[in-house]
Amino acid sequence: MSVDGVTRPYKFFDGKYDIALSLCMDGFLIFGKQGRKGGPSTTPIVMQIYNLPPNIPVSHISLLSLGTIPGPNQPRDARLYLSPVDDD
């Protein structure tokens, strides 16, 4: 494998138990017709598994819902909500 022109003796996520994950957090208004700054909002915390076997289709199976952060304001420190994930 070559990274930036340098040959590496390894490949990322090629081990039997390696898992590639992404963490997504994006707040939104629950009812979109209200004003931009008003109304109830939430921020879902979703983790997606990227390296599932090819025979498993990309669908909700690859998404892990870790929770939600209630509104109406954005979280000041999202690390507080992510600490259980970080501990595991």
The verdict on residue 69 lying in a domain is: yes
What is the per-residue pLDDT across 17-31, written as a single tens digit (0 to 9) for each? 888 888 888 877 777
Q: Is the peptide bond before 70 cis (omega within 30 degrees of 0)?
A: no
User: Based on the structure, what is the number of domains in the chain?
Assistant: 1
| Domain ranges, residue 30 | 19-87
The verdict on residue 12 lying in a domain is: no
The answer to whether the CB of 10 falls within 8 A of the CB of 1 is yes
The verdict on residue 78 lying in a domain is: yes
pTM of the predicted model, to two decimals? 0.60
What is the per-residue pLDDT across 35-66, written as a single tens digit (0 to 9) for each? 556 667 788 888 888 877 777 666 666 778 88
